[in-house]
Amino acid sequence: MLIVERDPHVRELETLFLTEAGYVVTAATDGHIALELATTRRPDVIVTEILVARIDGLALCRQLKANPTTKHIPVLVFSILAASTRASEAGANAFLMKPLAKELLLGVVHTLVQSRDLANSQERR
């Protein structure tokens, strides 16, 4: 699991919630670091804010989806901005509006992990 979030409090809460749910979490504070981590670690899901430095969350999503190494990683855009259409156009698999709601975040992440696992098992056949 990779979290890309500029706000340290939100980043800590997301990490706490996901860790308590059994996920191994890595965090990045900007899109450039996130792109490097996604390429090298290939997390199960990426949760990104839009308003992050160096490469914003939507540009990050577009770059991830254009790269054969990372295009299958589900991306959840989680933002204070009402940008669900823009997130979808950038290739995001899901969008959530802030403020952070633990059960909603965990539910969407769980669904994304399941859909990725299903896609991977079908790809192996």
* pLDDT tens profile 47-102: 999 999 999 999 999 999 999 999 999 999 999 999 999 999 999 999 999 999 99
Domain coordinates of the chain in residue numbers? 2-120
Range 24-50 average pLDDT: 97
CA–chain centroid gap for 107, Å, is: 13
Q: What is the pTM of this model?
A: 0.93
Answer whether CATH 3.40.50.720 is correct for domain 2-120. Answer: no
Please report which confidence band the pLDDT of residue 13 belongs to, taking 50, 70 and 90 as the band edges. very high
- Express as a percent the part of the chain with pLDDT over 70: 94
Q: Please tell me the predicted confidence (pLDDT) of residue 70.
A: 96
Q: Please tell me the predicted confidence (pLDDT) of residue 115.
A: 87
Q: Please tell me the predicted confidence (pLDDT) of residue 118.
A: 75
- Express as a percent the part of the chain with pLDDT over 90: 90
Cβ count within 10 A of residue 83 = 18
* Structural contact between residues 26 and 43, judged by C-beta atoms closer than 8 angstroms: yes
Tokens of 124: 């192996």
* Structural contact between residues 78 and 96, judged by C-beta atoms closer than 8 angstroms: yes
* Structural contact between residues 78 and 104, judged by C-beta atoms closer than 8 angstroms: no
Structure-model confidence comparison of residues 116 and 60, the more confident one = 60
